[in-house]
Amino acid sequence: MRWESWSQFWDMGGYGLYVWGSMGVTALFVLLEIWQARIAHQNALALAATEQQDKP
């Protein structure tokens, strides 16, 4: 391993804010997108379930 300690890892040689700001926001958006997709799917299923089948 490259890193001697956790604090060194978080610090990223002084660039911690930028590196984790990038990684963090990316991870956040990915998680939000997954969450949004799940909700959209549930809504679609609910919408389909309310469909009245027109029997001739």
Q: Token digits for 36?
A: 């949004």
Site for other proteins in 13-42 (CB under 8 A): 13-15, 18-19, 21-23, 25-26, 29-30, 33-34, 37, 40-41
Among 5, 6, 7, 49, binds other proteins (CB under 8 A): 49
Tokens of 41: 């799917």
* CA neighbor of 13 nearest in space, from 1, 3, 25: 3
Cα 39 from chain centre: 13
Binding site for other proteins (CB under 8 A): 1-3, 9, 12-15, 18-19, 21-23, 25-26, 29-30, 33-34, 37, 40-41, 43-49, 51, 53
